[in-house]
Structure 1
Amino acid sequence: MRAVTRLAATAALVAAALGTEPGAQQAVAGPAGPGEVRESVAPGVGYRAFTVSTPHGNTRIHLVTADLAHPGVAAGLLYPGSVAAREAVSRMAGDAGAAAAVNGDFFDITEEQHPGVEATGAASGPALVAGRPLKGAVPEAQRFGWTEPDGDTDRDVFGVGVDGRARLGRLELRGHLRTPRGDLPLGGLNQYALPVGSIGAFTARWGSASRARAACGTDERREAPCTGDSYEVRVRHGRVAAVSGAPGRGPVAPDTTVLLGREAGARALRELTPGTPVTLDYRLASSTPVPFAFALGAYPLLRDHQVPPGLDDATAIPRTAVGIADAGRTLRLLSTDGREGTSSGLTLNELAHLLRTLHCTDAAYLDGGASATLATRLPGTTRVAARNNLDHHQERPVPNGIAVFSPH
């Protein structure tokens, strides 16, 4: 009863701060409340900053609202050009010409449990860019971030469809290798962790990071040791060009795919000698009837106005989230101030109720803590900068994010 009372009080305070403003144009209209900031970032894109009171203290909220139905307004995936690379949100957004952006998925940030193995910086969930597969999802036990509520999976995503509307969904890697000895299932695509016994593919979009991490951990334990049974096959122009008894590193040429197998997958790849023809076919199958134009890993907070059971209501930290309103025509990017200063952050349950108060029908949470970053184009300039106060007063480089584009 106490938790319900606390959440109701929080929702009431948020409602009082926000009023009932559903659209991007309304997001900067009307008088601002005490300490509130409202700006028009670009046509169809508004920014607001305001403070809400929670049972554990005040939290500063930074919100971008984008009208995806407005001419010229669109959303897209930010990433540094390689899966296994990281860059500051403001830098990526500025380079891409975005009006606003937030950080994205949780990622492989540390490998303290695996001595001698480098953290790749690659995101945990699946990703699509320009309608094409960028990477698959690591096994659930191998992903970084908080333990997901019941019903969530490593394949959950937020994205925008080819119809221009934002939505939640799931993306599942489906693929195979065609060899003279028969078809072999594909278990991963540009992933920092592969399922036990599987074969993963690494393309030029992986980058130059070592692939050794992909053979570490298990489907049940991220910290489990690396397997001693792995094998790589380099396929160029449809034929095996080279083989190796250990995971490699360095750039993958655009005309080449590196196949890495572990356990049973390694034993299957050892049957492929140089010159053997190999054909690779894969896709990210979507749970939504409308294909995604872009998508990235994100974990549901709201579905059809409903807050799912099991969301954490004890741990308040800096948060980033994405919300969907108006049948996918309105997109909300939200982040809080970091822990440097007086902002207390939010629990996942509070974050979900806040997004519902913001008229979102569906929403998902992204990486938080020191990664939480919201950046916008500054008024009257083309410069993009972080708007929230950051942990340690600096942006943490991240592997991807969500960008909003609008004409100047």
Structure 2
Amino acid sequence: MRVAWALVSAWAALAGAGLAGAAPAQGATPAPRFTAEHTLAPGVAYREFTWPASHGTVYGHLVTVDLRAPGVSLDLVYPGAVGARAAVSRLADARGAVAAVNGDFFHISETQHPGVPATGAPVGPAVSGGRQLKAAVPAGQRFGPALPPGAGTEDVIGVGMDRRARLDRLTLRGQVRTRLGTLPLSGLNQYAVAVDGIGAFTSDWGGASRVRATCGTDTQRSAPCSSETFEVVVRNGRVAQVADSPGEGPVTRDSVVLVGREAGARRLRQLRVGDRVRVERQLTDTGRSPLAFAVGGFPIVRADHRLDGLDTVTAAVRTSAGIGDGGRRFYLLALDGGPEYRSGLTVAELAEVMLELGADDAVNLDGGGSSTLAVRGPGESGSTARNHPSGGMERPVANGIAVFAPQQSR
């Protein structure tokens, strides 16, 4: 149901009837026309807007976050396991967030490999509360629109320990120390491990099957599953059990499961029960301050400019996150998926909208039926999706970006 909050009258009147709604100069990018605004908490505002796009007018939902405001923060919310899914409003309410949008693209289906279940795990890296949950799958295994030149699955948007938001890349640096020598680690809680690689699965993964990690290739998601695999369970620093095929079920906190394919499988096959093994892994970024939260998403705006190579043809309901004001302001956007607005935006148009809204940097997040922006207003007991998800109801997703702030009672 469309939210019926009262407008902040003076500002809304200006946005609805003044400059924001004025016809743009010929050749200029039109400005969004704001139709409603509501303060969720000091430093956190919710707005609705329309924008004339190439495939028809879109209706947008926007949350703007001032990271300088006392008590305001952002974090990645997820269902308690990397390989799991839940609705955005449920993820938000479980953590007491005032707003949230869906996050990364994820392993939603598995039509190419009959009998192999979808894991629900996201494509890119994930960091929540400073905890590094997972690394990025190979580029050929990703879901989502084509990447612009220079972008990859390691790209993230997040906030550092210094409370400044930024675009960055998170790269896995890992190794497995054994009596046979040091083996390279090429995966951490991923639904796809690189060809010839070894992936590590921890208790953060959850109980989803690990079979999918050995299917496809680095360049083709639909390629057959590998015929050469091996799994090693390391518990308390020693090999506890081995198997020819990846398994399923929760990984205990004192354990790490290593899954190898091709050359990686051949290396693991040389280990014996009782062997000492030490698994070392770390996601490294390029910033000065470690990322307290991060979610995968490919850049569409950088340094106040739209990136080259973005799709200008295919329109869809979309979600985006952006940064402004030197990393002190954060934007969360989801388009409405109602029947009259379902035509959506191209990725290039999404970039233009984020620029018009004030973002200097922005990423494209999962869209279509996943696009959801949920909000909990002051005095409300739970959050509600403010856009109309295009599937008619909230789709369970892998993760989301949530906003936390102390609310004032009405």
TM-score by length of 2: 0.91
1:44 Cα offset (Å)? 1.1
Residue 222 (structure 1) aligns with: 221
Residue 389 (structure 2) aligns with: 390
Residue 98 (structure 1) aligns with: 97
Identify if the C-alpha distance between structure 1 residues 11 and 315 changes in structure 2 by more than 3 Å, giving closer, same or farther. farther
Residue 30 (structure 2) aligns with: 13
Q: Kindly provide the CA deviation profile for residues 96-137 of structure 1, in whole angstroms up to 9, marking residues without a partner as x.
A: 000100000001011100011001010000111222320010
Residue 331 (structure 2) aligns with: 332
Q: Kindly provide the CA deviation profile for residues 190-234 of structure 1, in whole angstroms up to 9, marking residues without a partner as x.
A: 000000000000001101010000000001110000011000000
1:379 Cα offset (Å)? 4.2
Question: Superposition pairs for residues 32-43 of structure 1, below 5 Å?
Answer: 36-43=35-42
Question: Superposition pairs for residues 119-198 of structure 1, below 5 Å?
Answer: 119-198=118-197
Worse-superposed segment, 247-256 or 338-347: 338-347
1:147 Cα offset (Å)? 1.4
Identify if the C-alpha distance between structure 1 residues 45 and 278 changes in structure 2 by more than 3 Å, giving closer, same or farther. same
Residue 303 (structure 2) aligns with: 304
Distance of 1:9 and 1:202 partners within structure 2: 55
Matched to 1:141, the amino acid is G
Residue 235 (structure 2) aligns with: 236
Identify if the C-alpha distance between structure 1 residues 339 and 147 changes in structure 2 by more than 3 Å, giving closer, same or farther. farther
1:339 Cα offset (Å)? 5.1
1:266 Cα offset (Å)? 0.4
SS in structure 2 of the partner of residue 13 of structure 1 = coil
Could you tell me whether the CA contact under 8 Å between 1:340 and 1:392 is conserved in 2? no
Residue 376 (structure 2) aligns with: 377
1:94 Cα offset (Å)? 0.8
1:340 Cα offset (Å)? 2.8
Q: Kindly provide the CA deviation profile for residues 321-354 of structure 1, in whole angstroms up to 9, marking residues without a partner as x.
A: 0010110111010010115333421111111011
Distance of 1:107 and 1:339 partners within structure 2: 23
Distance of 2:170 and 2:341 partners within structure 1: 38
Distance of 1:159 and 1:63 partners within structure 2: 18
Identify if the C-alpha distance between structure 1 residues 181 and 276 changes in structure 2 by more than 3 Å, giving closer, same or farther. same
Distance of 1:386 and 1:212 partners within structure 2: 34
Q: Kindly provide the CA deviation profile for residues 274-298 of structure 1, in whole angstroms up to 9, marking residues without a partner as x.
A: 0000001110010222210111101
Matched to 2:281, the amino acid is Y
Could you tell me whether the CA contact under 8 Å between 1:44 and 1:66 is conserved in 2? yes
Residue 81 (structure 2) aligns with: 82
Residue 22 (structure 1) aligns with: none
Could you tell me whether the CA contact under 8 Å between 2:316 and 2:342 is conserved in 1? no
1:9 Cα offset (Å)? 6.5
Alignment coverage as a number of residue pairs: 384
Q: Kindly provide the CA deviation profile for residues 284-325 of structure 1, in whole angstroms up to 9, marking residues without a partner as x.
A: 010222210111101101110011111111111101000101
Task: Establish whether residue 265 from structure 1 lines up as the match of residue 271 from structure 2.
Answer: no
Could you tell me whether the CA contact under 8 Å between 1:239 and 1:277 is conserved in 2? yes
Question: Root-mean-square deviation (CA), in Å?
Answer: 1.4
SS in structure 1 of the partner of residue 316 of structure 2 = coil
Q: Kindly provide the CA deviation profile for residues 72-114 of structure 1, in whole angstroms up to 9, marking residues without a partner as x.
A: 0000001000000000000000110001000000010111000
Identify unmatched segments of 5+ residues in structure 1.
1-6, 19-35
Distance of 1:363 and 1:9 partners within structure 2: 26
SS in structure 2 of the partner of residue 394 of structure 1 = coil
**Identical aligned residues as a percent:** 54
Residue 46 (structure 2) aligns with: 47
Residue 252 (structure 1) aligns with: 251
SS in structure 1 of the partner of residue 348 of structure 2 = helix
1:254 Cα offset (Å)? 0.7
Residue 28 (structure 1) aligns with: none
SS in structure 2 of the partner of residue 204 of structure 1 = coil
SS in structure 1 of the partner of residue 94 of structure 2 = helix
1:161 Cα offset (Å)? 0.3
Q: Kindly provide the CA deviation profile for residues 137-192 of structure 1, in whole angstroms up to 9, marking residues without a partner as x.
A: 00000011111111101100000000011110000000101101100000100000
Could you tell me whether the CA contact under 8 Å between 2:342 and 2:390 is conserved in 1? no
Distance of 2:26 and 2:385 partners within structure 1: 30
Worse-superposed segment, 298-307 or 341-350: 341-350
Matched to 1:215, the amino acid is T
Distance of 2:384 and 2:129 partners within structure 1: 25
Identify if the C-alpha distance between structure 1 residues 259 and 10 changes in structure 2 by more than 3 Å, giving closer, same or farther. farther
SS in structure 2 of the partner of residue 149 of structure 1 = coil
Matched to 1:124, the amino acid is V
SS in structure 2 of the partner of residue 324 of structure 1 = strand
Identify if the C-alpha distance between structure 1 residues 10 and 176 changes in structure 2 by more than 3 Å, giving closer, same or farther. farther
1:42 Cα offset (Å)? 1.4
